[in-house]
Amino acid sequence: MSTQDSKTVLFTHTHPQQGFRLLELPPDLDELLSSKDAPVLELKSPSAALAQAVTTDPSAPEYVNICTPTKTYRIRQVQSSNSLHILRPSLGHISRADIKVVEEEAGESGALNLPNEAVTTIAKCGSTLELHTPPEGFSERLFLEKTLRLYDRRSEDTDDGDGDLEMGDAPRATASLGPTEMREHICADIPMSTAQCDGGWTELCAFVHGKQQLAGWRPSARARLNVWKRLMEGAILQGIDLEKQFLVGDLWKSVLDDDETSEPPFPRPLLEAVVRRLCVPDERPPLAEELKWASFDKVECTQWIGETYLAAMASTPASAIGRSEFLRAWKDCLPESWREEVVLSKLSDGSYKSPDPTSIYFVETSQRQQISKAAAAGSAPAASTKTTRNWHELLKAQKSR
């Protein structure tokens, strides 16, 4: 057997070992953090009460997400039989506390002079942390629905300007918080990125309002439909063309009664939230900015109104309504030139079901997600090979090919 000369590298370890955790970054996040304007990352996890409300599973494990301004990653621990050692080069001097060399004595200085010929393990990691995005994505909307209070005006002649409100567990603001700060305060407990929270906030038409103390609200389908019908009537009376750009302030004035002493039909922030939701996406300002001008996206608006009407009038199989009745009512809620857009194919996939050939009812977003998960689990093929992080199993698999 041929032999070759090689230098001996002394391998030592410290005691006690240091507490390192290794985090494996996906390529896109690695590239982002290596860029010139790398963002600040956030570690976010929901409160125990919020996590339990969302999962409805008391045994669900606690978790933490790492968030960029626009994206969210779940952190998970991956065990491995291959221990990873964190090494530190020992340049020149090794302390007696770190090393014991048999049959070799240290010099008078009490240190061994082994320049560039030793490495020391300072930590041993039996597992690593990985970042991943679940196949079903993240449901910021579900977290917001569980956090925000439900706004639902059940009677037009109610004395309370806030309408009849179903209270949730959302926190109220202190006197020092304004609407923007209150929204940020609410979203701080949502374990998703700022962009995802803002998107969910807009999708729900959420708003901040309160006479004495501010709170976050999400309007019911009935409340959203009421806002749309009122602004449609006001726009017609005041000659506001909803198919062109308009001033949001003029639209708000159009929904108010002529009697200046009467209460508004709903809070102005609610109207602005609905208008923002229906804006052309490229013209939609950030949530922190005032919404002065707006123009509606006809396609988006038509779909939203159809689904909102169906959610308000037929939210369960027991309350299903006739298809023809629904299509007529949907048309009546739209500007005249948009009526030809009304067909069932314009609604979102999975947003409705038919208990019989002539009826239809609305399917909530959360129920659609559960149906999608069940379908994916049923159609997913069984894994033919085991995913492993052990080097000896990987090598064995490669040799068998």
pLDDT for 372 equals 59
Residues 149 and 201 in one domain: yes
Same domain membership, residue 265 and residue 165? yes
> How many residues comprise the chain?
401
pLDDT at 398 (0 to 100): 54
- Do 153 and 290 have their domain in common? yes
Domain total for the chain? Answer: 3
Q: Determine the 3-state secondary structure of 242 from DSSP.
A: coil
Query: Can you give the pLDDT at residue 105?
Result: 43
Q: Are residues 236 and 336 in the same domain?
A: no
For residue 390, being part of any structural domain is answered with no
Print the domain residue range for 66: 10-101+109-132
- Give the DSSP H or E segment for 295: none
Is the same domain home to 183 and 281? yes
Helix axes 298-313, 268-278, angle to 10 degrees: 120
97 and 220 share one domain: no
Model pLDDT, residue 114? 47
Instruction: Answer yes or no: is 360 within a domain.
Output: yes
Indicate whether 67 and 185 sit together in one domain.
no
350 neighbors 371 (Cβ within 8 angstroms)? yes
Tokens of 208: 């901040």
44 and 163 fall within a common domain: no
The closest of 218, 219, 239 to 227, measured between CA atoms, is 219
Please tell me the distance from the alpha carbon of residue 39 to that of residue 72, in angstroms, as a whole number: 13
Residues 274 and 339 reside in one and the same domain: no
Q: What is the pLDDT tens value at each position of the chain, 401 positions in all? A: 455 555 666 777 777 888 888 888 999 999 999 999 999 999 999 888 888 788 766 656 678 899 999 999 999 888 877 778 888 776 555 555 545 543 344 445 555 444 446 778 888 888 888 998 887 788 899 999 999 999 996 533 333 333 333 434 445 555 578 899 999 999 998 999 999 999 999 999 999 998 778 999 999 999 999 999 999 999 999 999 988 999 999 999 999 977 666 789 999 999 999 999 999 888 889 999 999 999 999 999 999 999 999 999 999 999 999 999 999 999 999 999 899 999 999 999 999 999 999 999 999 987 776 665 555 555 555 444 445 555 455 555 555 55
Please report whether residue 240 resides in a domain.
Answer: yes
- Encode burial over 386-397: b for 16+ CB neighbours within 10 A, e otherwise: eeeeeeeeeeee
Q: What are the CB-based long-range contacts (under 8 Å, 24+) for 325-330?
A: 326/360, 330/305, 330/306
Place of tokens 């700060």: 181
